[in-house]
Amino acid sequence: FGGTGYNQLLFDETDAQGRVQLKCSHAASELTLGHLIHSADNYRGSFRGTGAELRTDDYGAVRAGGGLLVSSY
């Protein structure tokens, strides 16, 4: 309400490089799943890897009432 910024939901089905990205301009926060690719406006940039990325330029928190497992296999 009266603020600036935007939210973005991106589905990228480029051959063999699919990804889903949920982005909010507030604090440059985003969640990307699949292929991690630099992008800005309508520009599809360089490949950075695969997997998941959750990032923000502000504070973040992870909460779990019943337990939380963070693992690398």
69 belongs to a structural domain: no
Specify the number of domains making up the chain.
1
Given pLDDT bands bounded at 50, 70 and 90, which one contains residue 1? low
71 belongs to a structural domain: no
Average pLDDT, the chain: 90
Given pLDDT bands bounded at 50, 70 and 90, which one contains residue 15? confident
Does residue 64 have a pLDDT over 90? yes
24 belongs to a structural domain: yes
Contact 19, 45 (CB under 8 A): no
| Token code pair at residue 62 | 């992870």
3 belongs to a structural domain: yes
Rounded to whole angstroms, the Cα distance separating 14 from 37 reads: 11
Rounded to whole angstroms, the Cα distance separating 14 from 66 reads: 38
User: 3 or 66, which is more confident?
Assistant: 66
Rounded to whole angstroms, the Cα distance separating 43 from 5 reads: 19
What tens digit of pLDDT does each residue of 23-45 get? 999 899 999 999 999 887 788 88
Segments forming the whole domain that contains residue 31: 1-9+20-59
73 belongs to a structural domain: no
